[in-house]
Amino acid sequence: MAPGSEHATLAVGQRTHPLTAVVLGLGWSAAAVVGLVSTLFQDGGRGGWGIFGLPAAAGGGLVLGSLIGWLSWRFTTFVIDDHEARVDSGILWKKSRRVPFERLQSVDIHEPLVARVFGLAELHLDSAGGSESRTTVRYLTLARANELRALLLRRAHAATTGEVDSGDSPLAAPPAPAAAGEGEVVAEVPPSRVLVGTLLSLELAGAVIVAAGALIASVWFAAPVAALGGVVGAAFWAFQIVGRRVVDQWGYRLSRVPHGLRIERGLLSRTSETVPFDRVQGVAVVEPIIWRQLGWRRVLVSVAGTGGTGDAADREKAATVLPIADPWLAQRVVDLLVPGAIEEVQDRHRSSSASWVFAPIGWRYRWIGMDDVAVVSRHGWLTRRTSIVPHRKNQSVAVEQGPLQRRLGVASVAVHSPDGPVDVAGPHLRRAEAFTVAVEASRRSRASADQASMRSGSSS
């Protein structure tokens, strides 16, 4: 097929894979079984379903889900033209989701467990702003999803930079054999290391302490039932911590691709996400106290438009760009995300000793500093967190001073950036020093923005 004809086909509109109906039907079937089991537990098995209840629920859910899935597939099309991606859906009420390329933040591939069985995947299009910023195309073959992602990312980059998209649709060429793992591999983290890191985490240590406390309390108060409840609860908590992190980060691979970093991970449901370089708002390096003895750390990233979705565990997973690594590898990833950034800046401003009333131990480990590239801050003694925000991404700077701070002659500086794991702040500095840091950070932010504007103007 000629490139021009392929582009015309995409502009007219395409349907997703026909097996979408089957995948959705299996999902409805599983939901019906779960609902029936829950009902049986609630009424003590007196519902009269007998041995035929589960097969009937599974079969009925499959038939009904497949029918609804087929109708949904029949009335859903996606269109990719020169200006936007569009998904039209709806049986009775029509709905059209449009994503202009200049607002496209990222394009990710998600392979839910059932879809993986059939070799299918979802395409997630995240756009800037709004409460419903994600558009999903489900389901496509994995090869086709990779090809469409390449097309969308290339056109989004062309729309935001003003470059001409000289390449035609990649669908005109046969798929690359290693499309899912393309790019230079930066890091691969084996599941065994993720498991060891999780077993040495403070969260798991907290679960163990809770279980030990329950046992001690049961002996002290002669209440074995209370001990059983505490141990079971702590064991479930520990299982959740270990299981979720290991399953989520299974087969972790970080690759450098044009315009960003690609993250592939997951045991049951596999995801392939791209972190565009131009959307990075800052990075954070996290070092729990046990990990510091082994020289391990975790790298998190704030990406525009993705910081506030999902629960805490989902946000942590989405922000994790390197789950566990040695210092040299972590520094390499930080340098890829924020070129030239370093953790140990020379120009530091530490929290005043008068602030010990706010943090009797932690005040000694707090500082904020900057160099020509970024503003950097560090805090924490049990879990040390170093946050880095490049000057060009600095949205605003604020100096805050409460009544007790005024009495002690201290003030706090906060560098504002989008929601996410990165939090650059200098708490409880001497008042004059706090204003000096704020003025200097604002000056460097303006200078960085002016330089970016000059480079953009010269390139155009």
CA distance 113 to 108: 16
CA distance 228 to 435: 55
Nearest to 145 by CA among 170, 114, 113, 163: 170
CB–CB of 356/410 below 8 Å? no
Q: What tens digit of pLDDT does each residue of 359-394 get?
A: 999 999 999 999 999 999 999 999 999 999 999 999
- Residue in the structure block whose two tokens are 């399953």: 247
Which of 157-166, 322-331, 355-364 is predicted least confidently?
A: 157-166
Q: What is the CA radius of gyration of the chain?
A: 26
Q: To the nearest whole number, what is the mean pLDDT of the chain?
A: 83
- Residue in the structure block whose two tokens are 């953790």: 343
CA distance 66 to 170: 32
Nearest to 57 by CA among 26, 29, 22, 23: 29
Which of 89-93, 367-371, 426-430 is predicted least confidently?
A: 89-93
Position 315 pLDDT exceeds 70? yes
Measured from the Cβ of residue 217, the count of other Cβ atoms closer than 10 Å reads: 13
Give the residue with greater pLDDT, 34 vs 135: 135
Q: What tens digit of pLDDT does each residue of 222-242 get?
A: 666 666 666 677 777 778 888
State percent of the chain over pLDDT 90.
47
Nearest to 304 by CA among 425, 449, 419: 419
CB–CB of 211/234 below 8 Å? yes
Nearest to 283 by CA among 325, 241, 231: 325
Q: What is the pLDDT of residue 433?
A: 95
3-state secondary structure 414-425: EEECCCCCCCEE
Residue 22 — very low, low, confident or very high, per pLDDT cuts 50/70/90? confident
Q: What tens digit of pLDDT does each residue of 298-307 get?
A: 999 998 766 5
Measured from the Cβ of residue 63, the count of other Cβ atoms closer than 10 Å reads: 13
Alpha helices in 284-388 (DSSP H): 289-294, 312-319, 327-337
Position 7 pLDDT exceeds 70? no
